[in-house]
Chain A
Amino acid sequence: MDDATDCVWFASGARMKPAPFDYHAPKQLKEAVDLLASLPNAKILAGGQSLVPMMNFRYVIVDHLVDLAGVEDLRGIAVTDGRMRIGAMMRQRELEVSREIEDRCPLLTEALRHVGHRQTRNRGTIGGSLAHADPAAELPAVCAAHDAVLHVASVRGLRQLPFREFGAGYMATTLQPDEMIAAIDLPLWRSGHGYGFREFARRHGDFALAGAAALLDVGADGVVRRAALALCGVAASPLRVDAAETRLTGQPLDAALIRSAAAAAWLIEPISDIHASADYRRHLAQVLSVRALTDAARRAGVDVSRTQVSGDA
């Protein structure tokens, strides 16, 4: 720190009203992307549950807000070609109560139980959660586990973006400034697949200090045909634990295999902040991986013996 500094007093002080901006409410996707491309310093307003607090704190200052609430093209849930297509502006609460989603991609339903509170889910959207890219958010982890494909819209048209190529560092994505998410495709797993979502948060609905999303496709012979394990809260973007998935695939599923696969989570380099140290996150990642995989195994019809420790029940 310098001894003498000319400090313009800025956002570190106390302010909680947003800076001024112009508000736009397009009704069509084309109108929305045109606005995003042509307006200077413009941002998308989806649910607002993450963006507006930042605007209130003046961490984010925009000149234009483009509210997508009126764009019907961005809504809907439909299964096509083995994929669940979800419109970016579907509210988290709508997804939470969707029978179709519970039936075809129950991992999403399970994860939504941990997302914020009723009020935030009433407004918050899936597209907004993904674009905000908070490392601890649950929905990005679900998309990572499912190998989601994002439909990205701009004045240049629509493009497909595999989820693995979406994250670009802490709270950053590979979206161009004039791009927005229009829809999310979740490739569906075989009917009867196992799923599990476990997180550890300090209080109900808080962001996870760490979380694990697991998917298992287990054959009738008890051998793992396919596995996916994604962690949230431990890196800038959700982390697929490839080493764990490799260890699981092709092996007969039992508690020992799960523990051995989860041990691969020990190799991650998590972030450290005032909420949790890297060591603690790494520990949680391993514990939660065991639990999520155990849940997934049970749901896939494999009777994995329970460990006799609090919280695993």
Chain B
Amino acid sequence: MGRQGTRVTVNGKSYARVVEARLTLADFLRHELNLTGTHLGCEHGVCGACTVLVDGRSTRACLMFAVQANGREVTTVEGLASNGELSVLQQAFIDNHGLQCGFCTPGMLITLTELLRENPDPSEREVREALTGNLCRCTGYAGIVAAALDAAQRLRAEPGS
């Protein structure tokens, strides 16, 4: 029952696969494409560890099926660094101790990528409200919020920003 084709662009590369309709986008990324940076923490749409961008919008990959992503563009954490160099946001996480076990981190990075693209000068409150869909059990969030604000400031200071 229910196997069909789907063609998804992930981090700029196109992948055509035949999959079960019930295969979630998260499992598709992790097991079909071996992009294991997107994590599964709950599979019921609360923890946000599986957050990816679909057509530029933050999305819970555990609540979407790979067949729904047909024709769509997906960005995962693996697509955030360019030419092997960590992005400003990723570097800010290192500088501000924004991660401990790292399991929720890809989801955090994706959500913040969307936030900073739309709102280059967020307040602390706006950062916190943007991240309520991403749970972290290790950090108590302080380092993540600091990293987001630090990254925002650095990105604003970049020439041409």
Query: Which secondary structure dominates where chain B touches chain A?
Result: mixed
Chain A residues numbered 18-48 whose CB sits less than 8 Å from any CB in chain B = 18-23, 25, 45, 48
Whether B63 pairs with A22 at a CB distance below 8 angstroms is no
Known: A16-B44, A20-B2, A21-B21. A117 touches B59 (CB 8 A): no
Interface size class of A (residues with CB under 8 A): 20 to 34
Residues of A within 8 A of B150 (CB): none
Whether A17 pairs with B22 at a CB distance below 8 angstroms is yes
A124–B64 Cα distance when bound, in Å, is 11
One of A20, A67, A93 near B57 (C-beta < 8 A): A93
Whether B111 pairs with A52 at a CB distance below 8 angstroms is no
Known: A21-B22, A22-B2. A56 touches B62 (CB 8 A): yes
Whether A122 pairs with B2 at a CB distance below 8 angstroms is no
Chain B residues numbered 51-105 whose CB sits less than 8 Å from any CB in chain A = 51, 57-60, 62-65, 67-68, 70
Interface size class of B (residues with CB under 8 A): 20 to 34
A16–B111 Cα distance when bound, in Å, is 24
A294–B54 Cα distance when bound, in Å, is 40
Whether B1 pairs with A120 at a CB distance below 8 angstroms is no
A233 vs chain B, min Cβ distance (A): 19
Whether A205 pairs with B132 at a CB distance below 8 angstroms is yes
Q: Which of A16, A118, A204 has the most C-beta atoms of chain B within 10 angstroms of its own C-beta?
A: A118
A226 touches B (CB below 8 Å): no
In the assembled complex, 26 residue pairs joining A and B whose CB atoms fall closer than 8 Å, in A order, are A16-B44, A17-B22, A17-B43, A18-B22, A20-B22, A22-B2, A23-B21, A48-B64, A49-B45, A49-B60, A53-B43, A56-B24, A65-B21, A69-B68, A93-B57, A117-B48, A117-B132, A119-B48, A119-B51, A119-B59, A119-B60, A119-B133, A120-B60, A120-B133, A122-B59, A123-B64
Using a CB–CB distance below 8 Å, which chain B residues touch chain A? 1-2, 4, 20-22, 24, 43-45, 48, 51, 57-60, 62-65, 67-68, 70, 111, 114, 129-130, 132-133
